[in-house]
Structure 1
Amino acid sequence: MADEDENKQKKHTIESLFHLYANNNINTLDLENETYETILLSQIDFWLDQAKLLKTVFTMTDTGMAYMKFKKWRLDFEEFLDFLNMICQGKEIKIDDVKKALLEAGPPGGGTEIVVVK
């Protein structure tokens, strides 16, 4: 029975989706077969847009200003969570609601694929 639980496919988590979006829409000048553990602002905006949060709850100015505070090109997962907290400040939306919307947005392009989360 334990083997069945170990092999059971699970739904995405914020972290598993983070890695999918971090590796989505990669510039062709980047090295092929490179896997990124960090995410760009454009990829975050794409994810927020797919979650229907960009231009409704957050503006590109909101995301850009918060992103610039990190003074780096790419954010790791922990910094991404800090970024989400920053953009929620002063808005009438809770971080948990943003995370839920990001989860519901699914993988880039809106696919419904299931991934094994370890």
Structure 2
Amino acid sequence: MADDDDKPKKHTLDTLFIVYCNYKVISTELENEEFDCILLSQIDAWIEQAKLMPNPITRTQTGLLYMRYKKWRLEFEDFVELLTQLASENDLVFDEFKQLLVEAGPPTGATDIVMVK
């Protein structure tokens, strides 16, 4: 079906993860650098866009969970683990939580275009 190629592709959790990893990144000396790990501020922005912050999830809660990893940026696997912990602590169904993040879409005001396969 050739028509399927013309339809816009939908984001998934992992494609949006890459979009958020590169959202509001402070310029470095390396131009065109693309990140594949996420910062705490980017996670908070994503959860806030999904309208899950400040209620039921707080910045303090995400910060405390994030600091357990003792890393500056989290890889996708660690990010999913963090989401699992957030869902558990807030009595959220994990799959519904992930779906809310996907439905939130790319960051508001982001101008980056990401190819979704």
Q: TM above 0.5, one fold? A: yes
User: What 5-or-longer segments of structure 1 have no aligned partner?
Assistant: none
In the other structure, the counterpart of 1:71 is: 70
Distance 1:30 1:80 in 2: 27
CA distance in 2, matches of 1:29, 1:84: 29
Deviation, 1:6, is: 5.6
Across the aligned residues of Structure 1 and Structure 2, the Cα RMSD in angstroms comes to 2.2
Show the counterpart of 1:93: 92
Q: Which residue of 2 aligns with 1:18?
A: 17
Distance 1:6 1:51, change over 3 A: same
Contact 2:20 2:107 (8 Å CA) reproduced: yes
Relative to the length of structure 1, the TM-score reads: 0.85
Q: 1:19 to 1:57 in 2, by over 3 A?
A: same
1:77, 1:40 → 2: CA distance? 11
Q: Distance in 2 between matches of 1:110 and 1:48?
A: 15
Q: Is the 8 A contact 2:19 2:114 kept in 1?
A: no
Unpaired runs of 5+ residues, structure 2, are none
